[in-house]
Amino acid sequence: MEYQNIIVETLDTGVGLIRFNRPKALNALSPELMEEMAHALAAFDADEKVGAMVLTGNERAFAAGADIKAMANAGMVDMLTNDIIAKWEYIHSVAKPIIAAVSGYCLGGGCELAMSCDMIIASETAQFGQPEINLGIIPGFGGTQRLTRAVGKAITMEMVLAGRFLSAEEALAHGLVNHVYPVEIYLEEALKLAAKIASQAPVAVRLGKEAVNKSFEMTLREGLQFERRVFHMLFATEDQKEGMAAFVEKRKPQWKGR
């Protein structure tokens, strides 16, 4: 697939980088962009050389939301039956970790997409918001649910009902983002974190992501059982033998992803 709306790069650190590339529209997430993003995520997920991914925009905007111009004239049935929804949903089935590197506007579907990633690294200028209320709608890709889990009911209500933006500093204080860095280095730091993850045992990384995400969907008892089974499973991997042997022999492990 030839990309027109994103720029894709595979780094030699094992990181797959996807940059949104609609700067004039503040990286508004058009159907075409979302289709390309889903395609690139699938390609990185299937690529053995890639261990983690970074999703980013530019300094001014991660993304100012879904493309309002593309949906302004849509009817209820159009929205209900639109197959582009599957392209948005695709991110939730990616097995490898994804880090969102966020600077500037991170609004509406942009904020929801960042929250669908596994971690968020922000620049000092990042602004998070769910301003759909200003358009006469509410969030439609998880904003009311994921934001509430991340920052709590009080702030989410203000964001969803009054369109309040959250600064990077506030987002850090409330646990929405992992780190905040100056705008000059936020992407570099996100790439470093992704490279660190990409250098770990791939099967353990994959199952670690799955286990943490289960905590949002299961009771504590079910989640603990799931974690225990996965923990036992990892003792069937060559990488567990290698990791523990390397520790005992005081050397660096050589992961095989087996």
Q: Which spans of this chain sit near ligand DAK (rule: CB under 6 A)? A: 25-26, 28, 64-69, 85, 88, 105, 107-109, 131-132, 134-135, 140-141
The upper half-sphere exposure of residue 174, i.e. CA atoms within 13 Å in the direction of its Cβ, equals 19
Helix (H) or strand (E) holding 247, with range, is: helix 238-248
Q: How many CB atoms lie within 10 A of CB 61?
A: 25
Of 36, 112, 189, 227, the active-site residue reads: 112
Of 16, 51, 109, 143, the active-site residue reads: 109
Alpha-carbon separation of residue 71 from 37, 83, 135, 152 (angstroms): 18, 13, 11, 30
Residue number, 128 or 255, with CB nearest to ligand DAK = 128
> Hunting for tokens 């470093």 — which residue is that?
192
Least Å from the CB of residue 58 to ligand DAK: 12
Active site residue 109: yes
- Residues 2 and 52: beta-carbon distance below 8 Å: no
Least Å from the CB of residue 238 to ligand DAK: 40
Residue number, 101 or 107, with CB nearest to ligand DAK = 107
Radius of gyration over every alpha carbon of the chain, rounded to an integer in angstroms = 19
Active site residue 66: yes
Alpha-carbon 196 to chain mean position: 16
For 3-38, the DSSP string reads -SSEEEEE-TTSEEEEEE--GGGTT-B-HHHHHHHH
Residue number, 137 or 212, with CB nearest to ligand DAK = 137
Least Å from the CB of residue 138 to ligand DAK: 9
Residue number, 51 or 104, with CB nearest to ligand DAK = 104
Active site residue 136: no
Least Å from the CB of residue 96 to ligand DAK: 22
Catalytic residues, by residue number, are 66, 109, 112, 132
